[in-house]
Amino acid sequence: MVLALFLLSFAHSSDITQLTSENFEEAVNRQPTLIKYFSQNCFHCIQFAPTYEDLASHFSSHNDTVTLAEVDCDVNVALCDKESIEGYPSLIFYSSINNPEKFEGERDYETLVKFVSERTGIYHHPLQSNTVTLDAENYDSVTMDPSKNVLVAFTAPWCTHCKRLKPELARASTIFQDIDDVVIGIIDAEENRKFCRQFKIESYPTILFYPAHREGDDDKIKALKLSEEQLVQMEHRLNDEFSQEQQTDKTSQDDLSIQIDTPKEEEIEDGLPAHLRRKGANLIETLDGDRSLNSLVDFINQHAGTYRTFDGGVEEMAGFEEVISDAIVNLVHAITQTPLKPSPNTPDDLTVEAEQDPTSTKTHSEDIPTSYIPTMEEVLKEINEKIPLVLNKYTIKTIRRYVSAIQTKGYSWIQSEAIRLRRILSSGALDVQQRMELTIRMNVLEMFHLQE
């Protein structure tokens, strides 16, 4: 597995030109060139490879103005010696073969884009960021706001992965900038070390997600509350930890007895540790693994009920919610007074039940309804029960609006509304938020319309 990851790190990007002793001078003389000198045995090179690939992709549309290349110094030893390469990775910008300029800054994406743009005259759109800087003073007020979905990245200034993550967080924040209930925050865990201790952060960056409050959260919080035995165990652990800290600081026993309750009050309240107490932490999740822009956007979409694409657009299926589609099928049958068909799996299910209960005298024909028309009362109850499972508030509002409209205007209203929405969507004169809302309305309508 490690070998596979190692080899994958040095898989060549099609946007990066591979240089050797044979083609080096020709490439550098042709046009301005940024070259990465690397060794396959270099851990920092492995870490930097994705950033350099992103950089090459960014300038791929300007390949007639600048070349992004790399040299494998394990293979091209003489060339790297000639260019006085002493460490890996090394980045050198050649405006010509006689004018090399070594890059000495931070090797993060945004800094490198600016570096290349300034030397080639390529216009650079500075990366905008709508991230919120968090600290011990504002952390609770931001993360515990019940109306907000808050993604928090715990970072450290010396952390290489954190430096790579911050530009991705900045891009994600611009994608969701017009969605009021999504917040992306960053906290420096070193600068706020005492405050962050309660979160038991073991590595950087660590990403936590605090969802907005929704129906049913309170019941889930209760399920997480600690038992009396667990509270006693936690109290002992906290006291032991605190005692050790005090001994390390050579604090007197008298001071220790006075301060011994401090961590208990800070970390435990209402049967929950502080980091599990915050705003329905029943749903707090950690984003592990891939932290690319695509993964960040997907994670927020799944947990905040948004429908954004990584390029800032709107998902085509925005508003279609499988979790409630069956209930809408039943609603259509109730309104149109058409019978529901028995499930094709019903006979098999009944066969299994009969095998499990040999004393049963019922036949399949007695159990399988030949037709069934659900009542409005039944389907509205089903919809209201499933509504909390839909995360997007505008989708919920749209579903309820359409249920009411169909009840009052009749099922034929769907056709005229679909025509109207398609006409507006095709006009093109819409901003992202308007397009998202209309796409949601169109796809919710399709959930009704497709059952006709």
- Does the residue 316 lie in any domain? no
Q: Are residues 296 and 149 in the same domain?
A: yes
Q: Are residues 104 and 33 in the same domain?
A: yes
Residue ranges in 38-146 assigned as alpha helix (H): 43-58, 77-82, 109-120, 139-143
Q: Are residues 384 and 432 in the same domain?
A: yes
Q: Are residues 191 and 247 in the same domain?
A: no
Q: Are residues 186 and 288 in the same domain?
A: yes
Q: Global pTM?
A: 0.58
- Does the residue 412 lie in any domain? yes
- Does the residue 351 lie in any domain? no
pLDDT digits 0-9 by tens, 343-352:
444 444 433 3
Q: How high is the pLDDT of residue 87?
A: 93
- Does the residue 309 lie in any domain? no
Domain interval for residue 258: 226-269
Strongest mean pLDDT among 83-92, 244-253, 426-435: 83-92
Residues 336 and 355: their CA atoms lie apart, in Å, by 38
Q: Are residues 99 and 198 in the same domain?
A: no
Residue 420: CATH number of its domain = 1.20.1150
Q: How high is the pLDDT of residue 342?
A: 53
Pairing of strands 268-269, 149-155: unpaired
**Whole-number Cα distances in Å, 377 to 330, 331, 383, 387:** 11, 10, 10, 15
Side chain identity at 247, as an amino acid letter?
Q
Q: How high is the pLDDT of residue 176?
A: 92
Q: Are residues 188 and 255 in the same domain?
A: no
pLDDT digits 0-9 by tens, 290-299:
778 888 888 8
Residues 371 and 350: their CA atoms lie apart, in Å, by 17
Number of domains in the chain: 4
Q: Are residues 212 and 96 in the same domain?
A: no
Backbone angles phi and psi of 355, in degrees to 5: -65, -35
pLDDT digits 0-9 by tens, 279-288:
444 445 667 7
- Does the residue 77 lie in any domain? yes
Domain boundary pick from 55, 89, 120: 120
The mean pLDDT of the chain is 76
| Angle, in degrees to the nearest 10, between helices 160-175 and 293-304 | 50
Domain boundary pick from 65, 94, 120: 120
pLDDT digits 0-9 by tens, 2-42:
344 444 444 556 789 999 999 999 999 999 999 999 999 99
How far does the chain reach from its first CA to its final CA, in angstroms? Answer: 51
Minimum mean pLDDT range among 28-37, 58-67, 214-223, 414-423: 214-223
Q: Are residues 262 and 381 in the same domain?
A: no
Q: Are residues 288 and 159 in the same domain?
A: yes
- Does the residue 440 lie in any domain? yes
- Kindly state the average pLDDT of the residues 370-391: 73
Residue 110: CATH number of its domain = 3.40.30.10
Q: Are residues 14 and 162 in the same domain?
A: no
**Whole-number Cα distances in Å, 401 to 82, 331, 409, 420, 446:** 72, 14, 12, 16, 14
Residues 305 and 319: their CA atoms lie apart, in Å, by 9
Give 93's pLDDT tier (boundaries 50, 70, 90): very high
- Does the residue 347 lie in any domain? no
Phi-psi region of 179 (alpha: psi -120 to 50; beta: other; left: phi over 0): beta
- Does the residue 356 lie in any domain? no
